[in-house]
Amino acid sequence: MVGEDETAPAGIDITTPHIARIYDYWLGGKDNYESDRNAAEQVMAATPTIKPGVTANRAFLSRAVRFMAGRGITQFLDIGTGIPTADNTHLVAQAVNPDCRVVYVDNDPIVLVHARALLSGVSAPTAFIDADLRDTGLILKGASGLLDLNRPVGLLLIAILHCVPDEDEPGEIVRELMDAFPPGSLLAITHPGIDQLPEQMEAAEKALTKAMGYRVTFRTHEGVSRFFDGFDLLDPGVVPVQDWRPEPGAPPSLTTGMWGGVASKPSLRRG
């Protein structure tokens, strides 16, 4: 349903809920419509931890980008960008090193509208590619316009791999992307965990799948860890996102239902 006073930007279907706008609602953003809010509320009814979960997921993104930039990464590929909010990747990375370059990728037209508006005022080197995560060739070709793929890249797959079902081989997608980058590149993944808060997360998976009309796949710790096979998983491994290198003095967080980890590409790939 569309609210009476809501109008859609040209070419954008706001009658079907979309993951980027649902996520924006959970984060307290304004770039969402009635259909998105209804879907978001249905998931929240099933999973009260969803809001702390997405907030903790964003905080992980910031820490992971700061960590990568601190290890000398100056090039980032952020796939499944989402609608811009606070602490977007280029702001976090360029706060550490103003020379950082960031390529954003998303397949949602509304994210594209916002990203263009956001990036038009940015003097630092950033770009946006309208592409599906499955189309790794298109993504890498587009990214090579701004990034030097012979130098290490920080690949961010933050809360996106659950949008790719097993039959589309998300593990292969991760490997194809990392294969294009040299050793020393870093990979950060977060993913909803079906085995954290199992009852709530099963209900959330069903509610999201029903609301959006396409299947989302929440995975186990083992399933998420497999995305890192062949890479050097950095401490503390795949852990609940709030427990991944928390800021000193950060208050203990609720269980959030999200797994997260960061790995480095070794000189010789294993497996």
Ligand X SMILES: C[S@@+](CC[C@H](N)C(=O)[O-])C[C@H]1O[C@@H](n2cnc3c(N)ncnc32)[C@H](O)[C@@H]1O
Q: SS3 of 173, please?
A: helix
Is residue 19 within the footprint of ligand X (CB under 6 A)?
yes
- Closest approach, Cβ 152 to ligand X, in A, equals 21
| # residues near ligand X by CB under 6 A | 19
Residue nearest to ligand X (CB): 82
- Closest approach, Cβ 4 to ligand X, in A, equals 26
Closest by CA to 134, choosing from 189, 192, 87, 177, is 177
Q: What is the per-residue binding string for ligand X in 57-96, x denoting contact by CB under 6 A?
A: xx--x------------------xxx--------------
- Closest approach, Cβ 65 to ligand X, in A, equals 11
Q: What's the CA gap between 14 and 32, in Å, rounded?
A: 8
Is residue 108 within the footprint of ligand X (CB under 6 A)?
yes
List of residues 6+ apart from 32 with CB closer than 8 A: 21, 22, 24, 25, 40
- Closest approach, Cβ 164 to ligand X, in A, equals 6
Q: Which is nearer to ligand X, 148 or 214 (CB)?
A: 214
Closest by CA to 23, choosing from 91, 108, 82, 93, is 82
Cα 51 to Cα 62, 89, 148, 160, 185, distances in angstroms: 17, 20, 37, 17, 31
The residues that touch ligand X, with contacts defined as CB under 6 A, are: 19-20, 23, 57-58, 61, 80-82, 106-108, 111, 132-133, 158-160, 163
